[in-house]
Structure 1
Amino acid sequence: MKDLGHLRYFLGLEVAYGPRGYLLSQQKYIYNLLARAELTNDQIADTPLQLHQKLAPDIGKLLENPTRYREIVGALVYLTISRLDIAYVVHVVSQFVQSPTTVHYVVVLSILHYLRGTLSRALLFSSTSKLQRRAFSDSDWADDIIDCRSINGFCVFLGDTIISWRAKKQHVVSKSSTEVEYRAMSTATSEIIWLRQLLCDMTIDCLSPTPLYYDSQSTIKIATNVVFHEHTKHIEIDSHFIRHHYSKTKAIFLSYISSELQLADFFIKVHTSKRHKFLLS
């Protein structure tokens, strides 16, 4: 074993140090990815995917050699370690690796054009912010045109630093928006519980509840109401789980936030260039 000093580079991850904290980036990794993709122009994009663009398995012509598509998508999945701004769109294009078409490949190229224009973007782990947790959770409802399954999105902050995020399709089709929202809230709660235990092992405060911000007042009211009603029986398991950690363990504190300020919205849909930059900031 050797002491190699401060970490600078590891498996495509670059780490920089400064008075404000640590910077984590994959700039060199993106350079190599753009070179492998052999882009023939200098085009850049403001967002990784065009607004209102929907992808389906049967649009476009099947690629004669899908290997490059699969290689690029696989590299993009690894890139989401530090580039949360492409998490949603990578989730979308990953669904077509088995039989990619020309339309799917154009979207992948659009992601690469976006990355080319944002090469220097990095995650800042602040050394001055308070170590207080806060989380945001959101979901769509049957927005996927392939199977009508909904997407969960959440992100968790430690002080000013985002330390966890996810954009993932739910396993089953939900018949109501309330069911979708409850599943999303339950997923975010599970992540909060895990992070609390991890941070507690690092002697970081694990007693105070973590605020979980949601933009549905009706969902919050159901979660905080100990009385079950007939129309909420189908979400009983998720509801009991959330209520347990809300009222018994005090691990979470449910708080309403307007849809305009819901940061988890970043992980469940495509936005205009202006909205994309606002959420990213």
Structure 2
Amino acid sequence: MCGRTLLLLYVDDMIITGDDPEYIAFVKARLRDQFLMTDLGPLRYFLGIEVSSTSDGFSISQEKYIQDLLARDALGDERTAETPMELNVKLRPTDGDPLLYPTRYRHLVGSLVYLAVTRPDISYPVHILSQFVSAPTTVHYSHLLRVLRYLRGTITRRLFFPSSSSLQLQCYSDATWASDPTDRRSLSAYCVFLGGSLVA
């Protein structure tokens, strides 16, 4: 099977930025010459991620994704939680009774893993709860419900990426020391900022 490769080169002495409307139109026109494509306009919603932009920068969130998740997996109450997980919780595989139908737990944890793309505030509890997807218990499920209640109360939170930000790269990391109650392993985490924007 034979395929086509396109190499698009554009050389100009002018400095061009990624938000130059004339240059964007130029690139779209060159791509349209080679490929069948439809211009859908400015990005607003893609794969459950909402994008909104202003002159100050742009924000990404998954508010509709959270609403759909809460509607699909109704909790049966309207309570909210101040934090996604209690402090100093040490969950073990043997806590509680095994769930009769673990599929729901697995589905919810998988959905939360994707949600953590725009909600780094739930990354730690989701990491902890994902360790028990093979054999979740009632205790693990109650902690999972707390994360959902936290999301209900903080549904409008979003990540903001300012348009005028430095290009200084900063990385922060931390680790616990032998904190896992089962095997005494340490947990580590990191976050990377480009200027004032969280990128990883």
- Report the TM-score when normalising by structure 1: 0.58
Structure 1 unaligned blocks of 5 or more: 165-281
- Segments of structure 2 that go 5 or more residues without pairing to the other structure are 1-36
- Give the helix-richer structure, 1 or 2: 1
- Amino acid across the alignment from 2:141: Y
- 1:93 is matched with which residue: 104, 109, 129? 129
Q: How does 1:227-266 map to 2 (within 5 A)?
A: none
The alpha-carbon deviation at position 55 of structure 1 amounts to 0.6
Partner SS state of residue 34, structure 1: helix
Report the Cα offset of residue 150 of structure 1: 0.7
Counterpart-to-counterpart distance in 1, 2:56 and 2:139? 43
Distance 2:74 2:160 in 1: 30
TM-aligned CA deviation for residue 128 of structure 1: 1.2
Q: Matched residues, percent identical?
A: 52
User: Any idea what the Cα deviations from partners look like across 1:173-212, whole Å, max 9, x if unmatched?
Assistant: xxxxxxxxxxxxxxxxxxxxxxxxxxxxxxxxxxxxxxxx
Deviation at 1:84, TM superposition (A): 0.2
Describe how 1:17-96 pairs up with structure 2 within 5 A: 17-96=53-132
Q: Distance in 1 between matches of 2:53 and 2:88?
A: 39
Task: Within 5 Å, give how 1:65-144 maps onto structure 2.
Answer: 65-144=101-180
Question: How does the TM-score come out when normalised to structure 2?
Answer: 0.80
Task: Give 1:54 deviation, angstroms.
Answer: 1.3
Q: CA RMSD in A?
A: 0.8
| TM-superposed deviation, 1:19 | 1.7
- The number of aligned residues is 164
CA drift at 1:117: 0.6
| Partner in structure 1 of residue 190 of structure 2 | 154
Distance in structure 2 (CA, Å) of the matches to 1:114 and 1:146: 27
> What CA distance in whole angstroms lies between the structure 1 residues aligned with 2:135 and 2:83?
25
- Residues 110-164 of structure 1 show CA distances to partners (whole Å, capped at 9, x for unaligned) of 0000000100000001101212111111111100112111111111111111111
Q: Distance in 1 between matches of 2:55 and 2:182?
A: 48
In structure 1, distance between residues paired with 2:198 and 2:151: 20
Q: Please state whether the residue corresponding to 1:99 is helix, strand or coil.
A: coil
Q: CA deviation at 1:56?
A: 0.5
**Match for 2:184: what amino acid?**
C
Equivalent-residue separation in structure 1 for 2:89 and 2:40 (angstroms): 47
Shift of 1:103: 0.4
CA distance in 2, matches of 1:144, 1:54: 7
Paired residue type of 2:114: Y
- For the pair shown, the structure with the greater C-alpha radius of gyration is 2
Which of 147, 156, 163 is the equivalent residue of 2:199?
Answer: 163
Written as runs of structure 1 = structure 2, the 5 A alignment for 1:184-263 is none
Name the aligned partner's letter for residue 97 of structure 2. Answer: K
SS in 1 for 2:199: strand
The corresponding residue for 2:9 is none
